[in-house]
Amino acid sequence: MVEREGRLEGKVAIVTGAGSSGPGVGNGKAAAVLFAREGARVLLVDAVAQRAGETLEMIEGEGGEASVFQADVIDATECRTMVEACLERYGRVDILDNNVGISRRGTVVDVSEEDWDYVMAVNVKSIVLCSKYAIPKMMESGDGGCIINISSIAGLRAHSSTPYTASKAAVIGLTMSMAADHGPDGIRVNCIAPGLVYSPMVAPRMDDELRRVRRNATPLRTEGNAWDIGYAALYLASDEARWVNGVTLPVDAGLTALSPVTYQTMAQQQYRRMG
């Protein structure tokens, strides 16, 4: 049994992309485990039920409470059903962690229209749809709520992929707009911009040398992982962040604090190696 402080005691959270795309712990899985560890009951949403099932196993192994809901969050009906399922199972929804995200490579010249639309749907429209159905339930409860949108430092600086960068920048704009719209309802909306974390999403494209380059590019000279992102989500979800609204928090060991020249050199080195 894991020690709990109960920072989210009595709360109910939805985490989208709560599984991990490979072995290990990704951002969604880490956030879900930490939310449950702090007393939240968690709806683990993933297009691949088995992936969310692995997160459930971790949570139940620690004595936490969660359940799996299979949904493709680019589908409005599935998002609506997801929120209804959360209400049926747990009676409320307090926290929505819009974590789902994917990448496709390309410039505006070579990206296919299909890939562009898909990245924008998964990374941006899913946030709109999940929030569209969750926010009215948060309002009805009279207790407000908290939404966390997962962007990327790729939304703050040009990166390897134009559709990914554009979609993650849109998440930052969407966060500010949602924070302004729903703050008066007691709903805080914030954003995390993860840096170059080593996670199942990127692991297949990494070797030791590339991990060293990425690590040494940051002022802290350390490698981040999904728990670093999960702990940021936990803070934003907790009442400790009750006066934090509309922010984008880079969690990147200080990488985006560097001058653009330093950053660009590092990015070029990295993506030359990734091919």
Give residues in contact with ligand NAD (CB under 6 A): 16-17, 19-21, 26-28, 46-48, 51, 71-74, 99-102, 122, 150, 152, 194, 197, 199-202, 226
Query: Given the complex with ligand NAD, which of 145 and 230 has the nearer CB atom?
Result: 230
Exactly one of 164, 198, 231, 271 is catalytic; which is it? 164
Which CB, 64 or 101, lies closer to ligand NAD?
A: 101
Q: Measuring CA to CA, which residue among 1, 30, 64 is closest to residue 251? A: 30
CB of 143 to ligand NAD, least distance (A): 26
Question: At closest approach, how far in Å is the CB of 57 from ligand NAD?
Answer: 14
Contact 8, 59 (CB under 8 A): no
Give the three-state DSSP class for 250. strand
HSE, CB side, 13 Å, CA atoms: give it for residue 55.
36
CA distances to 63, 159, 174, 234 from 33, in Å: 11, 30, 26, 10
Is 263 designated active site?
no
Instruction: Return the residue nearest ligand NAD (CB atom).
Output: 101
Separation between Cα atoms, residue 266 and residue 76, nearest integer Å: 39
Question: 135 or 255, CB closer to ligand NAD?
Answer: 255
Q: Find the shortest distance in angstroms from Cβ 128 to ligand NAD.
A: 13
186: exposed, middle or buried (C-beta count within 10 Å: 0-12, 13-18, 19+)? middle
Q: Which is nearer to ligand NAD, 26 or 64 (CB)?
A: 26
CA 128 to chain centre: 14
Q: How far is the CB of 185 from ligand NAD (least distance, A)?
A: 25
Using a 10 angstrom Cβ sphere, with 0-12 exposed, 13-18 middle and 19 or more buried, the burial of residue 259 is exposed
Residue nearer to ligand NAD on the CB measure, 28 or 145: 28
Q: What DSSP string describes 142-202? A: TS-EEEEEE--GGGTS--SBHHHHHHHHHHHHHHHHHHHHHGGGTEEEEEEEE-S-B-TTT
Give the residue with the Cβ less far from ligand NAD, 7 or 51: 51
Please report how close the Cβ of residue 62 comes to ligand NAD at its closest, in angstroms.
Answer: 19
Among 84, 86, 19, residue whose Cα is nearest residue 48: 19
Q: Minimal distance in Å, beta carbon 165 to ligand NAD? A: 11
CB 127 within 8 A of CB 191: no
**Residue positions annotated with a catalytic role:** 164
